[in-house]
Amino acid sequence: MNSTDTQENKFLGKVYLLGAGPGDPGLMTLKGKGLLECADVVIYDALVSPAILAMINPQAEQINAGKRMGRHSLLQEDTTKLLIEKAQDHAIVVRLKGGDPFIFGRGGEEMAELVEAGIPVEVVPGITSGIAAPAYAGIPLTHRLYSSSVTFVTGHESAGKYRPTVNWSAIAHGSETIVIYMGIHNLPYIVEQLTTAGLSVDTPIALVRWGTRPDQEELIGKMGTIVEQVENTGFGAPAIAVIGSVVNLHSILSGCRPQ
């Protein structure tokens, strides 16, 4: 008996790390939809939209592993344990994550733990919010006249979630468009870091909240004004921040939002 035989005996099923996309159910991949329709178990995160959850096989066991700032339904290690347990006696176990599992979604860590435990696992990419939310706000991240480079960065690094810590000075000079995930809580710090590093206070910035969902909201400003605008409006997470002159296209393109 080789190691593959042992694995097959131990686990009936396979885990699919599935990207749910940013919220609009029309942005779920065909492969992902098929998996949700025939899943036996679905373990999902907090940012997965109700419209996506509605696609799940009604017979499937559904478990909310949702994590939002400071409120953990399931610890990461418990989630992995649960996936291992479920794969022992269910054929299709879906780990459903907002956006793309490998973009600030801990998908890489979860997949490595499953591989280490000998569980068959596959990743099914999703559309990340850092691309889709700006697109639905009429902001193309690149444009031949305004930007030929994009950086995707987490704004949550100061809480120790990601390492190494972000080099904001390098980012200020490194690309023409900057897309920040989880940046709302640390926005004053991020703005200060980027402007101290030389990014002009007149650089346009857009915040897009609940992007691609029916309740999508946008706040458009400049680096020098955005913190005050957030304070005055109470604009909150979850949102994507886009910085760079591509934001100016919002005034021309935002009327063409997909329906």
Ligand X SMILES: C[S@@+](CC[C@H](N)C(=O)[O-])C[C@H]1O[C@@H](n2cnc3c(N)ncnc32)[C@H](O)[C@@H]1O
Active site residues: 45, 67, 182
Determine which residue in the list 83, 239, 246, 247 makes contact with ligand X, applying CB under 6 A: 239
CB-hemisphere CA count at 13 Å for 91? 5
Among 11, 16, 44, 104, contact with ligand X (rule: CB under 6 A):
104
Decide if residue 65 touches ligand X (CB under 6 A): no
How far from chain centre, in Å, is Cα 180?
11
Per-residue mark of binding to ligand X, 163-202 (x: CB under 6 A): ------------------xx--------------------
Does position 105 interact with ligand X (CB under 6 A)? The reply is yes
Residues 6+ apart with CB under 8 A from 236: 184, 209
- Record the tokens describing residue 140, joined without a space: 């193309």
Long-range Cβ contact pairs of 50-57 (< 8 A, separation 24 or more): 51/23, 51/24, 51/25, 51/213, 52/20, 52/21, 52/23, 52/25, 52/28, 52/96, 54/25, 55/25, 55/28
Question: Does residue 134 bind ligand X (CB under 6 A)?
Answer: no
Beta carbon of residue 221, minimum distance to ligand X (angstroms, whole number): 17
**Amino acid, res. 198:** G
Residue pair 237/183 in contact (Cβ under 8 Å)? The answer is no
**Tokens of residue 106, six digits:** 């801990």
Shortest Å distance, C-beta 100 to ligand X: 4
Asked whether position 40 contacts ligand X by CB under 6 A, the answer is no
Would you say 60 and 41 are in contact if contact means Cβ atoms under 8 Å apart? yes
Least separation in angstroms between residue 88's CB and ligand X is 27
- Does residue 28 belong to the site contacting ligand X (CB under 6 A)? no
Q: x/- string (CB under 6 A) for ligand X, residues 203-222?
A: -----xxxxxx---------
- Rounded to whole angstroms, the Cα distance separating 234 from 237 reads 10
Using CB atoms, what's the residue nearest to ligand X?
Answer: 99
**Closer to ligand X at the Cβ: 103 or 114?**
103
CB of 190 to ligand X, least distance (A): 12
**Using the rule CB under 6 A, is 138 a contact of ligand X?**
no
* Binding-site ranges for ligand X (CB under 6 A): 22-23, 47, 97-100, 103-105, 128-129, 133, 181-182, 208-213, 237-240
